[in-house]
Amino acid sequence: MDGVPPRPKQLSCPIRPSWRRRPLLFRLFAHTTSSTDPLIITALPDFIDTVQQRTRAVKFGSLWFVDMGWVARCPCWPTRLADDGETSYRRIVAVFSDGDALLLERIRAGDDRALAAIYDQHAGLVYGLARRVTRDEQVARDVTQEVFTYLWEMPHRIDLSRGSLRTYLAMLAHRRAVDEVRRHEARFRAETASAAPELEDGPETRVVDAATRTWRTKHLAALLGLLPAEQRTAVQLAYYDGLTYVQVAKALGIPEGTAKTRLRAALARLRTLLTDEAREAIS
């Protein structure tokens, strides 16, 4: 990823090397009346563009997929556009996500290879998050199995208009992990107390350590670093340790209302930072 500038998470497109020779399908947030009309791209606020050229379009439900072979040459982020690179393409790339909708269509059709592909792309996130929240490897395995099995059984429950598949899986994994923590709270807390003093190190330390792996984690660490310390600590306790706002308040020795306010302010600040970056990315 050297040389690739950090981008907002939802704009990235992790592509395995073996895919590079294959046509890639990117979901466009697009609508059009027929396969021969120009596509109108309306993915981001205040952003409208028209695709004048394309090689092949596929429609599933209300979504169009456009096969742009040139993207494959620079799948993560096209710092260099291909031969026919035009401003419009640069902008299109800024609004695609990877083929989540197509993968979901395949899951609905019973294609277990699509599930394997989704697992390969996102298992690290699901497992890592579950392990971080539950601090129990076996429970993290169980949560991972549950999350992907749920996806396989209930693909129609996923609304991609609310975010990427990765976002959905993170949400689901976190919810399940937190449920596990709360279900077995006494046991988990006891284990935590006798385990490494992770709260003393702080999730931020581990986040910073992990940040060497990808620009995403570097990006996250940078964003967290922009939060006021009390907000950062509150959000870390709530998200990474699965604490309720009541528990956060107790852990920090602050009123519950203050804990709520800090959590809300932390998320609002992160949201603003992300939005600013998204605007910058397409400007």
Partner 1 sequence: MNATSSDDETAALLALDALLPSEQADAELRIGMFPADLADVAALLAEGTVTDPPPELRSATLSCAASRRPPGRPVDAVQPCEPALAFDRTVEDLNHLLGTLNDAEWNASAHAEHGRVRDLIAHLVGVERLVLRWLDSDDSVPDLPDHVAATRPVIAELADTNPREIARQWYDEARRVAAAVGTRSRAVVFHDITVSVDQLLAMRTGELWAHAIDICQAVGRTPPQLDPERMATLSTELMADVPLAMAYRGTPVPGRAARFVLTGPAGGTYTVPLSPQTQAADPDVTIITDAASLCRVAVGRLRPDQLEAAIDGDRELGDLVLAGIGALARD
Question: Which positions from 245 through 264 interact with partner 1, judged by CB under 8 A?
Answer: 245-246, 248, 260-261, 263-264
Least Cβ distance, residue 82 to partner 1 (angstroms): 18
HSE, side-chain direction, 13 A CA sphere, residue 220: 18
Would you tell me how many other CB atoms lie within 10 Å of the CB of residue 94? 21
Whole-number Å distance between alpha carbons of 68 and 209 = 36
Contacts with partner 1, 75-114, as mask; x by CB under 8 A: ---------------------------x--xxxxxxxxxx
Instruction: Check binding of 131 to partner 1 (CB under 8 A).
Output: yes
Task: Encode 116-149: b = buried (16+ Cβ within 10 Å), e = exposed.
Answer: ebbbebbbebbbebbbbbbbbeebbebbbebbbe
Residue of 144, 158, 180, 233 interacting with partner 1 (CB under 8 A): 144
Among residues 184, 224, 191, 190, which one has the least CA distance to residue 206?
A: 224
Q: What is the dihedral of CA 86, 92, 97, 103, to 10 degrees?
A: -90
Residues of this chain, 52-81, that bind partner 1 according to CB under 8 A: 57-60, 65, 67
Residues of this chain, 165-184, that bind partner 1 according to CB under 8 A: 166-168, 170-171, 173-175, 178, 182
Instruction: Check binding of 186 to partner 1 (CB under 8 A).
Output: no
State the amino acid at position 242 in one-letter form.
Answer: G
Residues of this chain, 204-223, that bind partner 1 according to CB under 8 A: 206-207, 210-211, 213-214, 216-217, 219-221, 223
Least Cβ distance, residue 123 to partner 1 (angstroms): 5
Residue 89 or 148: which CB sits closer to partner 1?
A: 148
Residues of this chain, 4-63, that bind partner 1 according to CB under 8 A: 9-10, 22-23, 25, 35, 57-60
Alpha-carbon torsion 187, 190, 196, 201, what sign?
Answer: positive
